[in-house]
Chains A and B, each alone.
Chain A
Amino acid sequence: MPSFVSTLAKERTEEAVPAHPPLPARSRLRGWGDWASVAWFLVPALVLFLVFVLAPIVVAVYTGFFKWGGIGPMDDFVGFANYTKLFGDQVFLGDLGRGLYLIVLSITVQLPFALFTAVLLNQRLRGRAVYRMLFFAPYILSEVVTAVLFTMIFLPGAGMADHLAGLLGLEGLQGKWLADPSTVMPTLFVVMIWKYFGFHMMLFLAGLQSIPSEILEAASIDGAGAWQRFRHVTLPLLGPTIRISVFLSIIGSIQLFDLVWVMTAGGPNHSSETMAIAMFQFGFKRYQVGYASAISVVLFMISLVFSLFYQRYVLRRDLSGAVTSGAGR
C-alpha cells in the first residue's frame, strides 16, 4: 500500500543517497552548434520569465516616479514624491504594522500549533492518515472559497460564529467579528490558521520522518524523557524545516491579498488593510496608478531585502551542509 508516509520516507532517502552525480566531462559544450542547441532549450523559459516576471517589476519602478492615472501619456514626473507621500500616510504605516502583526502571530501561534499537530500525528494513532488528509484539505481550497465560507460563518446575526458565541456565553463578540475594527484582524488570523496550518504541518511531518529513530532511542536509553527528547533532539534536527516554514509564513503574511479582499476589502475603515490591498485600491479603484506602483515597489523591496537577508544569514547553514547544496548554489 503506497501510503503517503512511505512516499515521504522514500523521497527522503532518494534525496539523501544519490546526491548529484558530477557532470560528465563529455557534456561540456564544444563549438557553436552545442551552444545554439542549449540556447534553444533555454529560450522559452527565459522569454516567459523576462517578460512576465522581471519586466513588470522594472515597469513598476519606472511608473512609481510618475503621477499617472493609468490612461494617456505618462508625463508628470514627480521623482520620489509618491514615496514621501506614502511614508507620511498614517493608513499605509498602519498597513505595514498589520503586516508585522500577522507575521508575529504566524510565528508565535500558527507554527507552534502546526508543529504540535505534526508531532501528534507522527505518533502511532488510529486513523492518522485520515487526520492528515483532513488537516491538509483547507490548503487545497482556493482562498476565495475559504473567504466566502468564513464570511458566511462570521455574518453578523445569522452566522454560525454568533450562535456559537452565544452558546459559550461570549455575547460580547456577537455581531462583531469582521465588522468591528477591534476584532477584524484576530478573526482574519483565525481563518489564516484554518487555511494554512495544514501546509506547515506537512512540512514538519516530512522533517520528522527524516529524523533517524536511532538518535531518539539513544537519547531515551540515556534517560531523556519525552519532553527532553523533543527539546534537545527533535527540535534542533527540525531546525532547517522550521526555518523554511518561518520564511514562507513571513513572505505569505506580507503578500496576503485574496483572503482579505473577499472578506473585508480592507475594512471597516482600513482596519484590516494590507499593503497588497492598498495597492489594489489605489491602482484599480481610485486610478492613482503611479502611487499604487510605488506601493508595489515598497512591497517588493521589503520582500527582496528580507529574502536576501534571510537566505544569507538564516538559511546559509542549512544550505551549506545540506545534500541539496550540490544543486549549485
Chain B
Amino acid sequence: MNARRTARGLSLHAVVWLIAAFVAVPLLYAVISGFKSTGELTTNPFGLPEQWKTGNYTGILSDGMFWRQIANSAGIAIGTTCCTVAASAMAAFVLARYAFRGRELFYTLFTIGLMFPFAVAVLPLFLMLRTFGLLDNPLGVILPQAAFGLPMTIVILRGFFRTIPAEIEEAATMDGCGKFRFFWKILLPMARPALGTVSVLAVVASWNNFFLPLLVFSDPKWQTIPVGVQQFQGQYSTDFALVLAYIVLAMVPALAFYAVAERQLIGGLTAGATKG
C-alpha cells in the first residue's frame, strides 16, 4: 500500500515536471541563449555558454530606443488604465445603484461589446483615427483601448458596487451627501480592491497590445515594446542571440508586474470570465 502510494506520488511529480519543462524550456532557452554569440548558438544550442557573454544584454540596455519603447508602453498603459477605470467606474456606479428606465438596455449594450472582436474594428478604426488626425498620437491608441476595455471593467465593477450595502448610502444621503460626493468619497475608497483588479487587467491588456500601436504609430519615437520587438527582429534577423536577448529584456517588466499583481490579475480574470 505504502509502496503504491509512493509510486503514485512519483509518477504525479513526473507528469508535472514534464509539463513544467514544456513551459519553462523555451523561456530558459531564450535567457541562456542571450549570453551566447550567434555562432555558438548554432553549434551549441542546448548547453550552457562556454563563456557567459553579457554584451547582448548590456548593449540593448545602453540603447536609448529600448528604454524609449518601455517608457512609451508604460505611458500608454497608464493613460489607458486611467481612462478605462474612470469611465467604467462612473457608468458602473449608476448602472449598479439607480433604477431608471433603460438601465438594462445600457448595460446590455456594454456587455455586447464583450463579444466584439478587436480585429473586426481595427480597419475602420484606423480610417476614423486618420480622419480625426489621431495617427502618431498616443491618444489614438489610448482612447480605442480604453473603449474596448469598458465592457469587462463595467461588468466587474457593477458586480462589486452592488455588494456595498444600501444603508451606507442612505446614511450618507441623510448627512447631506450628494451623488457625486458619495461616489467619490465613499464608494470609490470602499471599492479599492475591485479597482485594483480592473486596473491590473487594463495595464496588462494595454502593455501587450500590438495591432493598434503598429497601425497608429509610423514614427519610431512612439513605438511601444511589442512593436519594437517585431521591428528589432526584422532588423537583426540574422543575429539570433541578440534578438533573444531583446525579447528576454522585453519580458522582464511584464513578468515583474505579474509577480507583484498576481492575485488581482487572476482574481479579475476568473471573476470576469465567469460573470461575462
Contact = CB atoms under 8 A, between A and B. Distances in A.
Interface stretch (A129-137, A176-184, A211-219): A129-137
A142 B243 contact: no
Interface in B91-136: 91, 93-95, 97-100, 103-104, 106-107, 109-110, 113, 115-128
A57 B158 contact: no
Interface of A: 2, 4, 7-8, 11, 14-15, 18, 20-21, 23-24, 26-29, 34-35, 37-38, 41-42, 44-46, 48-49, 51-53, 55-57, 59-60, 63, 70, 117, 120-121, 123, 125-126, 131, 133-138, 140-145, 148-153, 155, 157-160, 163, 194, 198-199, 202-203, 206, 240-241, 244, 248, 251, 254-255, 257-258, 262, 275-276, 279, 283-284, 289, 292-293, 296-297, 299-300, 303-304, 307, 324, 326-328
B244 A42 contact: no
B123 A289 contact: yes
Nearest to B265: A140
A254 B117 contact: yes
Interface of B: 12-13, 15-16, 19-20, 22-24, 26-27, 29-30, 33, 41-42, 45-46, 83, 86-88, 90-91, 93-95, 97-100, 103-104, 106-107, 109-110, 113, 115-128, 143-144, 146-148, 150, 154-155, 158-159, 162-163, 165-166, 169-170, 173, 179-180, 183, 204, 207-208, 210-211, 215, 225-227, 229-230, 233, 240, 243-244, 247, 250-251, 254-255, 257-259, 262-263, 265-267, 269-271, 273-276
A327 B274 contact: no
A155 B240 CA distance: 10
A296 B86 contact: no
B166 A29 contact: no
A194 B267 CA distance: 21
A44 B87 contact: yes
Given A21-B166, A140-B254, A327-B158, A52 B125 contact: yes
A312 to B, nearest CB: 12
Nearest to A311: B115
A135 B106 CA distance: 38
A123 B274 contact: no
Classify the interface of chain A: helix, strand, loop or mixed. helix
A163 B155 CA distance: 48
B115 A158 contact: no
Contacts of B243: 148, 152
Q: Identify which of A20, A56, A60 gathers the most chain B CB atoms within 10 Å of its CB.
A: A56
Contact of A296 (B120, B144, B169): B120
A120 B100 contact: no
Given A60-B123, A258-B210, A163 B46 contact: yes
A254 B119 CA distance: 10
B19 A299 contact: no
**Which 6 A-B residue pairings sit nearest by Cβ, starting from the closest?**
A52-B147, A59-B124, A45-B91, A142-B208, A307-B115, A56-B124
19 contacts: A2-B263, A21-B162, A29-B99, A38-B98, A42-B91, A56-B124, A140-B255, A140-B258, A143-B226, A144-B227, A144-B229, A148-B229, A158-B42, A160-B45, A160-B46, A206-B270, A279-B123, A296-B123, A296-B124
Contacts of A15: 271
A284 B262 CA distance: 37
B120 to A, nearest CB: 4
A145 B115 contact: no
A137 B29 contact: no
A46 B91 contact: yes
Contacts of A160: 26, 29, 45-46
Nearest to A292: B123
